[in-house]
Each structure stands twice: as structure tokens, then as C-alpha cells.
Structure 1
């Protein structure tokens, strides 16, 4: 066993195997450099396989769908019918080994128990896993089974894998109803399953059993008539055929239902629109119109005005449409981002991924890959559970990011703004804001406003501040949110999606101030490149730093790098390397380097360096051979804002890098700015960074050791 692949295997259909495979891909991408995915048997074709499409899309895998598959189900049946079992295994093995040769780790999702005899398919999975040299993670579903049947099924399955020579690293029992969780855990740990390695129990998650509107749209052949694409990712809890009059229908309407009705039932359509306006009411997920009949123009205007209820239409009659809709299965696919985040949240909360990684007994890569870095942010943030305030509560991207952050269990959030408007926008973009993780505060009506204004007045009265102006200032969401951080009601703040950098950070300059011993607030971008993660500073705050300020920026940037697991090797950048150039700008960098060496003798630093000499080992070997920083720099300090801002954007665009930031450094409490062109992923990453900074600040304040 070479230990560089894992086979996720099960013994029946619908055990949630794909969710476990997804969780293992997340783990692998944190621990390995080049990760790939493989399916030994696909249903029709590699390109149509849901798991391959999901993994290729989410993890931007460079290999083709064809390379990630063994054989089709038809090919497998043909070879089995011809009694060519060994040839089938060898064919799959050859395909896998070609993929494995180009990867550091491969996650293999076994067959789906659809189309072959279950007993034969189980044997096939065991033989495939052993002949691929993969360790096995066995997955069993409980669902409606009894505790005894579930444990018995898992024991028989594991014994069979072991009999085939498989190496089990762990057992997952999925879809465990809460009512049976304790008794199942006791029965399983009292059985021989405990001898097969770690046991993990994943709770039943109803959301994963519900199809999305998009899945039903595809299943019934409907088209989107009104609404936007983001709405199609909502889950459908029930299918309701509206055949009775409106009063009776409304009595039976339940939240997140798909309402199926002919297009000429204007009363039902309007009733669904109104149901979505009632607080805590039975808001439908969507309306599906049958018979190819579009709503009357007057009704269509109401639908457009509402803009929160997706309406689909299909040509089939109501009975046929309802039958087709009832047959649609819920999938975790590349077009179901909400389910992906929910599935990962369930997996990561209930599986000890570090324990699993250790059992794989493989070496972690020597460098921090971008995927490792991004996922390490999420994991570290989750561990310490900070409370982060997001002042731009009505911005759709902020709400979508809040949805992801809650599903991944990353942080508790405070959204600022009018609650009704926030909920309306959240509904429109399909974002869920659970009360257990999200608090909504309106500065205009909050009882905190008066005390915040008083605090602000006391801090700024020497600058001519009056109480009336202070009270008005606390209507500004950035001032209100920053005051929450100042008063310890939140661990940090993230803003800037619709505000300028100045609007975001000005309140922090006024009353959060800088840390003791720090005279300068500066920033870095965390640049996630294919080769690893680099820290660029300062690219957003200080326009033309002096030599002393450059040295302070470098010290803060090195500390930031260390906070996020990046070993700081500092390059002070210029248009000259070493002693090759002269001039005022080069001398400033040279002077800053000397100041840095004197104040931080243990810090690896070199300067002046040109960018290529700082990051390219081949160039460094020519210009500064055997230098501990040249060619290996991880923290790059630019001589001025003009250079830094332009270069980070050039690298971001030309190298297709992920730029996380600007991350502010030097403040007493974490406040971070977003680009106004930020994506949802950018917001998620920045909130995770802010949560980590919040924990670091807390440790520094209390003297705790992280």
C-alpha cells in the first residue's frame, strides 16, 4: 500500500457516499499539493457523472473527465457478462495508475449500486480498492434502519473489505436520526467495529434530502419564466399540487414548497406571492406552471414587482409534471452550492480530519499551497469562533457570504441595516441567515446608539466633536460597527464591498488606534499563487513611506505572515538588487533593510532586491547565490504604494492569482477592507482572516498562548 489514495466505499445505494467523498477532497486539498479524483465506474459517460462534475468544478482540477474515470456501467456489464472480471479490474487499474502518476493524492469514490447486482457490486468495490492500492474509508447509511441492522450491516461490510485484503482507515455511519444517535454510538463502539479504526457518525441533514429548484427544473424540462438563476439553488421540502380553491390551498401550504399549478390559476399564483410577504409565513420555494400557459399580464406585473418568487413553466400537464417532479432525487452537484456548504459543514463538524490525515501516513508538502492556505483559514477561524460585524448588511454578496460562513460554521455574524430590507435581499439571493449564528442590528433603532455616541463624543471632543454630531455619526454603519469592535461587542469588522477604503478605516483611525509600540497602520495582500502563498505589503494604505516606515511595514507584514502559517522571509523590493544600483529610491530601501536588521536580528531579510531575484530561484542563483531570502522570499515589501498597488493587481490578473485583502495591520482591533469588486469567496476569506486576527489580539491582550 503506497498510501497516496483513498477509496470511499459503501454497500448500498443512497448512503451519502458523495458527501463523504467531498469532505475527503477538502481534507486532501489541505494536506497535499496535487489532488485528483477518480470514479472506477460511471453511469453513462465521464462528462455526465455528477461526482466528477462536482469535483472538477469545485477544485478546478486540471485533468479531464475522461482521465478521472475507469469504465462506463455498460462496459462493466459487458465484461462481466463475458466472464472477464479480472480484465475489468485491470482496465480500471490502468486508468487509475495513469491518473495517480500525475497526482500527490487521489480520492476515489466507489460505485453507486445502480445497475449491477448488489452482492457482485460490493465484491467489485473491494477488489478495485485493493488492486488500486488504496486505503478504504467505508460508508454506511442508517436512515430508516434499526440500530441493530445498521451495526450488523457495517460489521459485515467491513469484514468483507478486510477479507479481500483491504486496509480500513475509518468507518462512517451516515444519515443518523437524532433520536437514535446515542444508542447507535453505544452499540457500534461495543461491537467489533471499534477494532476497524475510528468510527464517525454523521447526523441526518434534511436539507441534503431535498432537491433544489434547479434539479426539479431539469427533471421536468421546465424553463425559468421569472426570477434569477441564484434562486434556483433553493431547496424544495415538498411538492404541492394546487387543485383546490385558494383558501383550502393556503391552509395546506408549507414553507419551501414547490407549488405545481396550471398557468391560468391566477388566484394560486397571487396567493403564493402574498404568502411570501407574511413574516414567518409559509413562503413557497417556487411556482411551477403547467400546460405551457403563462400568467395573465396583470399577474405577470405583480410577479416582476415582487422579484422574490421564482416562477417556472413547462409544457406537460399537471399530473405528468407532478409525477416527474416526485421522481427527482436530491443530489450534491456542481449547481448546488448551498448543499455543498451544508454537506461540508456536517462532515467537518463530525469527522476528525486531522486524525484521518494521520492515519493515511503520508507526508505533508513542504510548501503552503493556495488550497491549503484558504482551507486552513476556515479551519482556524472555526476553532476560535469569533463574532464579526458586517456593516453592509443589505449588500447581496455580503448576505451570500454570510450564508456560506454559517453553513461552514466559521464565525458568528452581526449584520447592520434595516432588518426588513436585509431579509428581503436575502430571500431574493437565496441566502439563509440562521438566528443562532446571525444577529441583525439597525443602528437607527438600536439602544446601543446613545451609549456609542457618548463614547465617541468623549474620545473626539478635543477635536471639536459635539454630542449631536456624535449621535448622527453613529447612524453610519461603519462607525457603529467599529464602535461595536471598540467596546468588545464584536471581535472584528469587515467592510468595503460598497464603501471606499477611507470610509471603512477612518473610524478605526479615530478611536481604535494603533497597538502599543506601533506607529503606523499598513496593509498586506495575501497572494495565493500556483506556487504558494506570498505576502505583499503595503499595497493599500501608506502612499510614500520613509525608510523607517518601510521597516515598520516589514515588521508588521512578517508578523502577519507568521499568524497565518507562512514562514517570513522578507524581501525589500527595489529596481536594483544588492549593490548594483544607486539613487535616492534605492538608498531608502537599503536604509530600511539596515534598520530592519538592527531591530529584528532574527528575521530573515534581504534588500534591495528586484522582484524576480526575490521569488525566482534561478535568477537568485545568478544575482545573489546561496542567499537565504533571494529566490525564496515569502514577504515582499514594496517601496511605495504606487508600485505595490499596481504590481499586486498585475500579478492577480496575469497569474490568475487569488488576492485576499487588504488585510490591515497595526490596529488595536482587527478591521479589514474589501475591494468594491470583491467576490463572495473574497468576503468569506476576509471574514476568516479577521476571525483569526481577533483570536490573536485576544491572546495578546490576555497573555494567553495560542
Structure 2
């Protein structure tokens, strides 16, 4: 995703023009997507799009729709709509160039919004930074700003906005090299690496383009100036063809102004009350002097029909424009639009494409053929989209025993509106409708409300049958079925519903005990375990077991790892399992370390295709730099997607610490090994947590 880091105005689009041109020249197929607002690329590449050499994905949201969502503080909804539209409309696996959002907003930082959209789309970020000069301080500021915002990137393009000599570009590189050599502080150490006239940034981050100012890129046509100013056209002349290299403000005497006409690519700005000046200029034009146009400024009205000079000038090719803006307003607008390229200016587009294209690192362009910039990651937004879209594929019914709990009611309403599931709320209908009314919720037909007292009798004999060996009687069953969790579990056992979600007000024990007694495990499972989906800003990880097994044996720990690997695959996560311990490989010893080592070896023995390593410390498993030091030969260290903790004490503590201190979402606990899907909620669960737990339960029921 190509994003502007500072205010680069229309030059940002020019960079995109150059990038797409040079990639097309290398015959690399690509897609174009602008999430918000209208893109001009579809018109510029209309021929290639019609021949299906380039696929254009229409914008997900209009600028107005996006601004309304941002004003209403619905940023997450905006990103969700962008992701959903992209996933539904992408056609190929080609590289997709995503145009960043450039419209200024009082409600959100442009950089923050672009970053969040890029993360949600799993897109590599390509920042474009506008430098006043190719100077070290500006370059350093660009990279520091990205680091401060914790925005990761692999390449960056610097764009220069004023003329300079090529030797100055070399001076920029050389001064950066000296800067790197001199800095020894921890903040700067190893941040940059200079090599072969390129700036290399840690982890192969590099400047892939330093684009000098090029005067031809700002040569507008007279018609472009007219459009930018929204000026009135007094005389068309050759308004489409004439180009303007410079603008001359005419406030001097007429003779001095005529001396300033040294080129035929000049636009004269003449105050509308200065009849002496435009009369002199028009006479010169009639006599053969060539200019690109005249712009009359100011709010004085001119009766063109009564002035004979206009009758003569209307017969020439001179474009004449009129604006009611004053001099300062006019100059500010022209400065703002000097780099704006209109889609019908084919000549200028080709100049810009070729110029910017030749200033982009060609090795990087060639690397795109292998999709080498694609990062292996799974963002929280794409994970949420995946589970909701998978859930929508089949119509499943999920029972929510805590039917009068406000968060649960709201979650059921959302699930129905998004067609994730049909939810059954167990509880008094009058009470549920009253709570819904208080929250201004309208419950549609896919939210079903069942009064438990009306159906309990139906399940007494079945409960007695399933628990007869444990001394169950009709009277005991009747009493137990007053508990909605037990009632919901019986509904699941008899196939009345496809899954159960509880725990917003019940303890884990109250939710799971009936499931363990009535639903029980699958035939091939001797163990029930749990996982949490941990939604970090740029990735999704699985933690297990953090809710069920207090102190598993090494055999049980191996089973938890295998179950977690299967769950990861089911939800689109490539399992790379780290068996967590206080020791990495042979750095420590003791019974706890040995248990983890034996569990790891058992998984390798049973399932050689599972990617697993252990024992590994948490930092060695999750941080690539540390993993390379502590476990250099590991195929998991630093890249783990699934963490298996040695016991419940460790797992539960770590997940809560990461969730609360890191302020991230944790979906779960999700149960593994049950014959039918039952899932527990944290009593601190948000409405969103409940919605996605319902979606996951639906997906689990599809696997039955």
C-alpha cells in the first residue's frame, strides 16, 4: 500500500503513475485498488484494463461516506467495509497496488488511517516522503516519524520538491553515511546501513527511489489552470494545447510588462481593473506576440461586447480566463495545483511516468515478479473477516443460555444482522424485549427467544437417560434443568441447536461441567483443552491451554499441541508451534523443562509434518532477532504462530497480562476436543468478543 507520510499533495499520485508505469513496462501483472475516493488510474489505464492486463478494483467507499464514518467515530466500521469489499472483489493473486487515503480529516490522522487499512489488508507499506531538500535531517525525520508510530516498512521513496544538482543527491547519500558512522547510541545503532550508493535500513528496509524535482512535471495546460481556479472562459483559443511554464503577475506599467514576455509558455495575470495593461497585451498578441493565456483577476465586471479590442482578440488562439478571486487567493490555488495531473493530459502523464519510473530502483521492480515483498502475516481485521465469512456459509443455530444479559442480547442482534448465525436467547421474553428496548435494539427474526419454563419438561427423560449411571432421577433432572446452561447443553446434545456459547455471567466451571458430563469428548480425543486467539496489531496468534488443564502431563501437553495445530489450520493460520518453557533448548534443565521437551518429541514422532520446536522461551519464540541468537537452527523461533504453555498457571497469567497490558483483543477460551462445540466466555467479554465467539462456534459446528 502506497501511503503519503507528509503533505505531498498531487505529487503522491504522480509517484503512483511512475510506479505503475515501470511495473507495467516490466510486464508484471498487477491490480489497482483505491479503498476511499475516486481513482484516476482506471481512466489512464483504460486500454489495459479492457484487455484484462490490469485489473481495477473499484473504490470501496466514496469520500463522503468515509468522512461521515470518521466524523461519527466509526473508524473500525470504515476499515471493516474496506476489507469486506476488497475480499469480495479481488480477482487474481497478482500484486495489488493500493492507493493510500490523501484527503485531510479533522477526525483522524491520515497516516494512522492508512496504516490501519494497510494492516487490515495484510499489505506491505511503501511510504512516500516529501523532502524540502535531499538533506539528512529530513530523511532522518521521515524514518523517525514512522518508528515513533511503530509503522513497519521495507522500502521508502523520497520525493524532492525543488530543483537541485545531481551532485547534491550524492552529497545527501554521503552525509547519511557519515551520520551512520558517527552515531553510537542504542537508538541509532544498526538503524541504517550504507552500501553501493543506496540507503539500506535495518531488515532490508531501503530507499528504492530518490526522485529529484523535474520542472516538466509541473507544466500545466491553460485548461488545467482554468479547472483549478474554476475560472470562467472568456475565449477558448487553444486552451487544451497551450502549456504554462511560468506565471507573470502584471501590476507594473504596460511597457515593462511587455518586456517580460520572453517565452510563449507564459500566463499573464492581469487585474481586471487594469484596462491599460490588458489592452496593451491584446494589441501585442494581435501583432503576433505568443503567450499561453491571459487570466483576468478580481471582481470588476467587464463588458466584453462594448470593447472593440475583445472583438479582435476573440479571433486569435489566445485563451482568456476570468476569476473573481484576488491575487493572493489565485496564487495559493495555483501553487496547490501545480503538480495536479488531469487524466486527459496524455502528454504530461507520459513525461511523469517515464521520469519517475527511471528513478525507481530497477532491482526492486524485478523482485516483484516473485512477489518477494509479500509478508507472511494474518491481521486481526482479516481474521475477523475470515471467521464471519466462513460462518455465513451455513445457517447454524447457536444457543445463548444467558439470554437476559445485555451484552449477550446485543451480540445476538449483531449476529442476526450480519447473518453469522441464528441465535436462541433463553430467558423471559418480556425481560429480554425490555432490555433490548432500553438499548434501542430491534431484534429481527433470526434472534429467537425461548422461555425456558416452557421447554424444560421435554428434556427430563433424556437427561435421566444420559446420566442414569451417575444416579440421575426425574426429580434431580427437573431441578438441574432450571439451570439454563444445562438446558442449553441438552438442546445441543439432542441436535436442537448446533452450538452453545456461555460465560458472560457464569464461571468457566458452570459452563464446562455440563458439557463434559453430557456432550463429552470426540471418539478420538481423550482430552478437552482450550485456546485463545490473540489479536495483535499486525498478526493473530494462538495461546493454549489457558483455561482447562491445570498441570498436563507430557502426553497431554502433546495432545494440546496437536489439537491447537488443527484449530490453527481450520481458521487459516499456518501452525508453527512453540512449546514454551523457562529454557530454550538446552539452556536449562529440570523436570518442568524435561516435560516440555518430551511433549515436543512426542508430537514430532506422531505427526512429523507438524512444524514444532521446544522448549523455547517466550521471547525466543516470538521475536525474530532473539530467536536467531538463542535458537539459530530453529524453524519456529521468532516465527511462532501457536504458543503452548506448560501449565494453566503460566498460560492463564500470560494471556491476561498480554491482553490487558498490550490492550489487545483475546477471543476465547475456544474449546478443543468436544463432540459438539461449546465455548466459554470471559466474564469481562465485550459484545464484539461474544459475536466472534459465536462465529467460531458456527465454524466448529461445520466441521462436525
Bin of the TM-score, shorter chain as denominator length: 0.5 to 0.7
TM-score relative to the length of structure 1: 0.53
Aligned equivalents of 2:373, 2:698: Cα separation in 1: 29
TM-score relative to the length of structure 2: 0.53
Tell me which of 583, 604, 614 is aligned to 2:611.
604
Tell me which of 533, 536, 548 is aligned to 2:540.
533
Alpha-carbon distance change, 524 to 22 in structure 1, aligned in 2, over 3 angstroms: closer
Tell me which of 437, 453, 457 is aligned to 1:427.
437
State how 1:224-373 maps to structure 2 within 5 Å.
365-373=375-383
1:384 maps to 394
Tell me which of 34, 40, 59 is aligned to 1:5.
34
1:80 maps to 229
The superposition leaves residues 257-297 of structure 1 with CA deviations (integer Å, 9 ceiling, x where unpaired) of xxxxxxxxxxxxxxxxxxxxxxxxxxxxxxxxxxxxxxxxx
Please tell me whether residue 47 in structure 1 is matched to residue 119 in structure 2: no
Bigger Rg over Cα: 2
Tell me which of 74, 92, 101 is aligned to 1:38.
101
Alpha-carbon distance change, 495 to 593 in structure 1, aligned in 2, over 3 angstroms: same
Alpha-carbon distance change, 81 to 574 in structure 1, aligned in 2, over 3 angstroms: same
Aligned equivalents of 1:522, 1:695: Cα separation in 2: 19
Q: Secondary structure at the match of 1:47?
A: coil
Greater CA drift, 502-511 or 449-458: 449-458
2:503 maps to 496
RMSD value over aligned CA atoms? 4.4
**2:563 touches 2:673 (CA, 8 Å); kept in 1?**
yes
2:82 maps to 25
Aligned equivalents of 1:476, 1:502: Cα separation in 2: 13
Q: Secondary structure at the match of 2:423?
A: strand
Compute the displacement of 1:362 (Å): 13
Please tell me whether residue 465 in structure 1 is matched to residue 475 in structure 2: no
Q: Secondary structure at the match of 1:524?
A: strand
**1:29 touches 1:372 (CA, 8 Å); kept in 2?**
no
Compute the displacement of 1:655 (Å): 2.3
**1:393 touches 1:399 (CA, 8 Å); kept in 2?**
yes
**2:34 touches 2:98 (CA, 8 Å); kept in 1?**
no
Aligned equivalents of 2:528, 2:479: Cα separation in 1: 27
**1:478 touches 1:495 (CA, 8 Å); kept in 2?**
yes
Aligned equivalents of 2:107, 2:393: Cα separation in 1: 37
Compute the displacement of 1:475 (Å): 1.9
**Alignment size in residue pairs:** 422
Compute the displacement of 1:49 (Å): 9.0
State how 1:203-218 maps to structure 2 within 5 Å.
none
Aligned equivalents of 2:379, 2:439: Cα separation in 1: 32
Aligned equivalents of 2:82, 2:679: Cα separation in 1: 30
Aligned equivalents of 1:621, 1:429: Cα separation in 2: 52
Compute the displacement of 1:450 (Å): 2.3
1:183 maps to none
Aligned equivalents of 2:114, 2:230: Cα separation in 1: 31
2:654 maps to 647
Alpha-carbon distance change, 607 to 535 in structure 1, aligned in 2, over 3 angstroms: same
Please tell me whether residue 455 in structure 1 is matched to residue 462 in structure 2: yes
**2:33 touches 2:97 (CA, 8 Å); kept in 1?**
no
Greater CA drift, 364-373 or 388-397: 364-373
Please tell me whether residue 445 in structure 1 is matched to residue 454 in structure 2: yes
Compute the displacement of 1:27 (Å): 3.1
**1:29 touches 1:35 (CA, 8 Å); kept in 2?**
no
Task: Specify every segment of 5 or more residues in structure 1 that has no aligned partner in the other structure, as ranges.
Answer: 65-75, 88-127, 135-159, 166-360, 698-706
Q: Secondary structure at the match of 1:384?
A: coil
The superposition leaves residues 199-237 of structure 1 with CA deviations (integer Å, 9 ceiling, x where unpaired) of xxxxxxxxxxxxxxxxxxxxxxxxxxxxxxxxxxxxxxx
The superposition leaves residues 550-606 of structure 1 with CA deviations (integer Å, 9 ceiling, x where unpaired) of 011111111111110111111111111111211111111111112111111211111
Alpha-carbon distance change, 607 to 425 in structure 1, aligned in 2, over 3 angstroms: same
Q: Secondary structure at the match of 2:516?
A: helix
Q: Secondary structure at the match of 1:444?
A: helix
Aligned equivalents of 2:437, 2:539: Cα separation in 1: 38
Task: Specify every segment of 5 or more residues in structure 2 that has no aligned partner in the other structure, as ranges.
Answer: 1-16, 21-31, 41-61, 70-76, 121-144, 149-224, 234-238, 245-336, 350-370
Q: Secondary structure at the match of 2:106?
A: helix
State how 1:186-205 maps to structure 2 within 5 Å.
none
**2:34 touches 2:99 (CA, 8 Å); kept in 1?**
no
1:191 maps to none
